[in-house]
Structure formats: structure tokens, C-alpha cells
Amino acid sequence: MLRELVKRWANHKIMVRWLSRFFYYLDRYFIARRSLPALNEVGLTCFRDLVYREVNGKVRDAVISLVDQEREGEQIDRALLKNVLDIFVEIGMGQMNFYENDFEAAMLEDTAAYYSRKASNWILEDSCPDYMLKSEECLKREKDRVSHYLHSSSEPKLLEKVQHELLFIYANQLLEKEHSGCHVLLRDDKVEDLSRMYRLFSKINRGLDPVSNIFKQHVTAEGTALVKQAEDAASNKKAEKKDVVGLQEQIFVRKVIELHDKYLAYVNNCFMNHTLFHKALKEAFEVFCNKGVAGSSSAELLATFCDNILKKGGSEKLSDEAIEETLEKVVKLLAYIGDKDLFAEFYRKKLARRLLFDKSANDDHERSILTKLKQQCGGQFTSKMEGMVTDLTLARENQTNFEEYLSKNTNVNPGIDLAVTVLTTGFWPSYKSFDLNLPAEMVKCVEVFREFYQTKTKHRKLTWIYSLGTCNIIGKFEPKTMELIVTTYQASALLLFNASDRLSYSEILTQLNLTDDDVVRLLHSLSCAKYKILNKEPNTKTISPTDYFELNSKFTDKMRRIKARICFRIFGLTFIPLPPVDEKKKVIEDVDKDRRYAIDASIVRIMKSRKVLGHQQLVMECVEQLGRMFKVISSPFVVCTLQHNSFLNSAHSNDLHCNVDVQPDFKAIKKRMEDLITRDYLERDKDNPNMFRYLA
């Protein structure tokens, strides 16, 4: 039937064409003047009315039957189908309504029914990868079918039907298959299957939403498992050395970086860099990256990890290229950290320690990570840290100038080698300055350097932080002469015994002008620690106000150069500066304080420009403004350290104080609004308490 129809249609077209030529004059002039249909149109209309309308139903069923046979793997005459379907197209004389209504609609309905039957069986029998393979092959064949005999306009409709029946209807069931679903593919690293899943589900409306949700859940679960694993490992090591606990935390950060690398590669390669999966990855990492491990926040862990890479003697032994790559990955992880201000606080403390104590392994790496942080978080985030690095460069030049000054002015020679590091207060941590009574030799050093500094500038004030200095002193003991590396406080205490053989606790306290806590730690380090440079009476392990001390003339050690450690550790270093302070607690308190300043500044800035504003609108604008700060990391606040001196081989500070942007909560904003009202920055409207007015 189909071949006969094609033959009759071809003959009819030939007859119509010849008739049009025979009656060309009539067709061109007579018909045109009387607005009658053209001969070609009349010929096609006759075939449509006399033949097509009688057989189109049977023809349609026959064609659909052949299409189904081909879908089952049988061979059919594609050329014949192409010719038959051309009749449906040509009979419309430029319109597609006959093709669409008389054939396409029924063909699409049959296609949906066919693939519905197939899908209902496949979903029960096949695994997720096998099901997707069959679905992809079906889509490919349907596309091929369009190119061979269906009209091109049918392609999107046909593929949509197939995708709906095979993928849309069974999407959740397919993705959540127990032993082969999306979770399993992610767990088993089935990259090819995941790529196929993306190709298939990206073609259906909102098809990627459930895939991205599963991806997010999987990454979150893996990250949370890492956190739990690190917590368990750290708790198991509590009774052992603290360094082991710290090592576990370093391993945790390294595993998080590896996890991020793995799933970022999935996003870029399997999921074609789609924004939905970037968002899912970001949200997943934000969940577990903001959880603490062994009492340490993620911000602190990242800062410590960077410190371990950048300092001398760190456990991470990497090449320069590997260090650069790792730092790049750490900065990427920072984007997921909620408390970026805490990271800045901890990082600057550790940066100060590396710079001041000459613990930095490579200055280029220090500048490199600052550049990366600047690109990620904004210029103001790193301005203080960049100032710290610049300060050290200027301090070296200043020391060189000081040495030249001493060589030219022999009359002002301090008598001992002196190295001083002068820092800018605004960039560095702040330290309490104690009025230590220095020995005469050290007093002369201070005066000589002050005179030199005044030749350079008279508008700056030097504040000396003796607690951060170190001294190399020569101890002449009976067994042998030894070099002692001690703090300025320890050196001051030891030099007292040049003038006295025996001193009481109270005499040392008075002569040094230190607090009881400081003197206890100081004397403990010299008489009860590893190196007993002083003898104590009575010979106990604790220091009391009734004790007496004298130089241990028989002191010796197998090394000729030793470092006397202070019994108190702070910020990971051993010296004697201040009473014990919970560093984490202090950092958090400083950050909270600076967050209050940030919220205050935002509220005042908004009200100053708006003058009158409702409560809800003010809160939302404040959140929006501080939210931008949070995402962009702009505006670090107070960072300061006092100028520093060190005697005979300088040693310095490692503390820090700073704040950066934070996402506030509504309660904090409301509390700051009330505080600003009490300080007469704002007032409530008398008629409407939800309205605020700015007070100039």
C-alpha cells in the first residue's frame, strides 16, 4: 500500500506539473485576474480530497507499525518511509498542519506508550548504569530516525517524549537505586557513568536538581565523616603528646583538600562545570568546613596548616611548586569558611611569629599566599599582613644603617652586639610593656639605639618590648665556659649574680621590678627546669617567696651552646612574657568586639544617608552590607604591635590582633541598634517605635 501510494503521488505530481505548463498562459493571466487558485494548488487539493483523506489513517498506522518494528531491531525500508512522510508534508502546501495532526501526534503518542512499556521493565531489571546506557542509546536512535525519514521539526518533540518516559518519570527511582544509584556511582568513582547521568538529566526540565542534591548529600557525608574521623583520632591521642594531636589536625586539612580536589574535578569534568554543581559543592563544604576538630575551629586549622607549610622545620616537606599549589587550594577552601575574620586573626598571629622569629622558610611563598588572599578576599584583608612583610624588609635596612652608625661613631659603641627590629605599631600585635629594670649594660644599648633613631626621625616614639628579646651570654662555669641563649628577662636575672653570690626571691623581685607571676616562672626556668643554671634553697620543684638562689658554678652540659627554655609556653613558643592566656578565647573575644564595631559602623553609615528608616529595612540593609563584606572580605580592623627591641641576637613577637568582615545575625544587629540608641546615634520615632531617626 505504501509503495503504491508513493507511486501514485509521484505520477500525480508529474501530471499536475505538465498541466501547469500546458495552461501556463491561463494560469498566469486568467486565473490571476479572477483571484482563482493556481492549477498546481488545485491539482494537489484534488489528490488530498480524493485520495489522501481516504487513506491517511491506514498509511499513518502502517508507518507507525514500521517505526515500531525498527525500534525492535528489524530492518525496514527507510527510503519508503521518507517518501511516504514527504506526502504528509507536501500535501499541506507549505503548512505543517497535515503532517502534525494526521501523523506526528499519533506517532508521538505511540512513542510514549512504547517507551513507557520499556521503561517499566528496565527500571525493575537493570542497574542504574545499564538503564542509562539503554536510555542514551534510545535517544541516539530516535535522533538518527529523524535524520533519515522523519521531518526535522519532529526531533525536539520526539526526544522530549522519550526523555519524559525514560528519565523524567523514573528519575528519583533511578537515582536512588539501592546498589547502583547516584550515591553508589559517586562512592565507587564511576566517572563515565556520572558523565552519562549528567548528559541525560541535563536534557529534562529541572532534571539536574535531584542529581545535584544527591551530589551535595554525598560530599557532605564524606566531609562530615572526615570531621568525625579527625575528632576520634584527636581524642584517642589526648593522653599522648600534644604534637600528635596537632598532626592529626594537619592530616584532616590535607584530607579535606584532597576531597575538594576530587569533587571539583567531578564538577569540572563529569558535570561540565555546571553552576548547579558548583553551588552544591560550595554548600556541602560550607557544612563541614565550619565544624571544629578537637576544640579548634576550621579557621584556626587552616591558618595552622598554612603555618606548617610556610615555616622552617614544618612537617610538610614539599617542593616549591607543591607548596604554591597547596596554598592555592587552601585559599579556595577559605571561601567556604564562615569565620574568615577568625582565619585572618590566627593567620596573622602565626605570620608575625614566622617573621619575627625568622621561622619563615621562603619570603616568596609568604608574598605569594598574600597575593592569593588579596585576590580572593580583597585588598584590605591583606593590607596589614603586607605591611608586616614590608616592615621586616625595612627593619633589616635599619639594622644595617645602625651598624654603619656605630662604625662611624666609635664613641657611642654600646659595648655588646645589638640587633634591634623596629616595627610599625599599626601592623603588628600589641603587647603589654613591663618596666623591667635592665642591667647597666643593656641600659646603655637602649640609649645608643635611641640616639641613632633620633638622627633619622624625631616624630616617632619607640616603645621597647623586653619580653620578646633574646640574649646570648657567656657563662664561665667551673667545668667549662658555655654560651647560654636566654630571654632578656632571664639575662637580666642572671646578670644580677655578677654583683651578688646569693639573692633572695624578694631581692630579685625588687631589682627586676617584675610581677610575682613573672618572677616565679623566670626563676623556675633557671633553677627547676632541664638546665639548672641557678641553685635554689630549699631544693624543691616549686618557687616560693622564702627561697634563696645562687649561681650553679658546677653547671655543665655536653653542648657548649644551650637554650634555656621558659617553663611557660605561649602561642607555641617558649618565653616568659605574660601570664597564661587562653589564646583561642582571646582571639574570639577580639573578633567579637571587632564584629560589634563593624555592625555599628554599618548601621550609622546607613542611617546617615537615609536619615529615617524602618526597623526591618534597616536590619536587611545592614545584613546586605555586611554580607557583601563577608563574601568579599574587605575591611580588617585594628592590628597593632609595639616597636620591638631585642638584645644580642634579636627575638620577637608572634601575636596578632585583627578583624575582618562577618555575616551578622539579627539578634546581634538588634543589640547594636539598642546600644547606638543609648549612645545617641539613633532614636526611635515617638509615634512609630519601629521607625528610627539618625541623630547628627
Assign 3-class secondary structure to 668-689.
Answer: HHHHHHHHHHHCCCEEECCCCC
> Do 286 and 365 belong to one domain?
yes
The answer to whether residue 241 scores a pLDDT higher than 70 is: no
pLDDT above 50 for 314: yes
Quickly state the pLDDT bin for 371 (edges 50, 70, 90).
very high
Can you give the pLDDT at residue 575? 37
Q: Please tell me the predicted confidence (pLDDT) of residue 634.
A: 31
Report the alpha-carbon distance of residue 237 to residue 491 in Å, rounded: 37
Q: 116-121: long-range contacts (C-beta < 8 A, 24 or more apart)?
A: 116/165, 116/169, 118/165, 118/166, 119/165, 119/166, 119/169, 119/170
Euclidean distance between CA atoms 574 and 559, whole angstroms: 20
Say yes or no: 97 and 128 in one domain: yes
pLDDT for residue 478 is more than 60: yes
Residue range 8-16: average pLDDT? 79
Give yes or no: residues 511 and 495 share one domain. yes
- Does residue 244 sit in the same domain as residue 338? yes
Say whether both 528 and 423 belong to one domain.
no
On the question of pLDDT at 452 being above 70, the answer is yes
- What pLDDT was estimated at residue 64? 92
* Chosen domain end from 578, 607, 623: 578
- Checking DSSP bridges between strand 561-563 and strand 481-487, what pairing results, if any? parallel
Q: At 587, is the pLDDT very low, low, confident or very high (cuts 50, 70, 90)?
A: confident
**Which band of pLDDT confidence, cut at 50, 70 and 90, is reported for residue 411?**
confident
**How far is Cα 155 from Cα 145, in angstroms, rounded to an integer?**
9
Instruction: Please tell me the predicted confidence (pLDDT) of residue 338.
Output: 79
Whether residue 506 is found in the same domain as residue 537: yes
Average pLDDT over residues 127-138: 94
**In this model, does residue 516 exceed pLDDT 50?**
yes
Give the pLDDT confidence score for residue 93 in this predicted structure. Answer: 78
* Boundary residue ending a domain (466, 488, 505): 466
Q: How many whole angstroms separate alpha carbon 126 and alpha carbon 116?
A: 15
387 and 448 in a single domain? The answer is no
Which residue has cell 597575593?
Answer: 371
7 within a domain of the structure (yes/no): yes
Task: Determine which of 52-61, 243-252, 321-330, 358-367 has the lowest per-residue pLDDT on average.
Answer: 243-252
Inside any domain, residue 454: yes
Q: Which residues pair with 484 in a beta bridge?
A: 473, 562
Tell me the pLDDT band of 163, cut-offs 50, 70 and 90. very high
Q: Is the pLDDT of residue 521 over 80?
A: yes
Residue 63's identity, in one-letter code, is V
Query: How many folded domains does the chain comprise?
Result: 5
| Helices and strands, number each (H, E), in the chain | 28, 13
Find out whether 602 and 623 touch, Cβ atoms under 8 Å.
no
pLDDT bracket for residue 173 (50, 70, 90): very high
Give the residue with greater pLDDT, 639 vs 179: 179
Structural domain includes residue 535: yes
pTM above the 0.75 mark? yes
Cell of residue 126, nine digits: 537493570
pLDDT confidence tier of residue 268, bands split at 50, 70 and 90: very high
Give the range among 28-42, 80-94, 119-133, 600-614 with minimum mean pLDDT.
28-42
Which whole-number Å values give the CA distances from 272 to 261, 281, 449, 533, in the listed order? 15, 14, 63, 68
Residue 404 pLDDT greater than 50, yes or no: yes
State yes or no: pLDDT of 646 exceeds 60: no
Write out the residue range of the structural domain in which residue 687 sits.
581-644+660-694
Please write the tens of the pLDDT for every residue from 188-230.
999 999 999 999 999 988 999 999 999 999 999 999 999 998 8
User: How far is 81 from 104, CA to CA, in rounded Å?
Assistant: 13
What sign does the CA torsion over 337, 339, 342, 348 have? positive
Distances (CA, A) of 241 to 246, 573, 580, 667: 9, 16, 20, 41
**561 and 596, same domain (yes or no):** no
Task: Note the pLDDT of residue 265.
Answer: 95
> Do 601 and 505 belong to one domain?
no
Where is pLDDT greater, at 7 or 40?
A: 7
Look up the CATH number of the domain holding residue 501.
3.30.230.130
pLDDT at 212: 95
pLDDT digits (tens, 9 = 90+) for 79-100: 998 988 888 888 877 788 888 8
535/492 same-domain check: yes
Q: How far is CA 313 from the centre of its chain?
A: 26
Residue 281 shares a structural domain with residue 355: yes
pLDDT of the residue at 650? 31
* Residue where one domain finishes, among candidates 415, 449, 466: 466
Q: Does residue 330 have a pLDDT over 60? A: yes
Q: What is the pLDDT of residue 378?
A: 83
294 with 225, same domain: the answer is yes
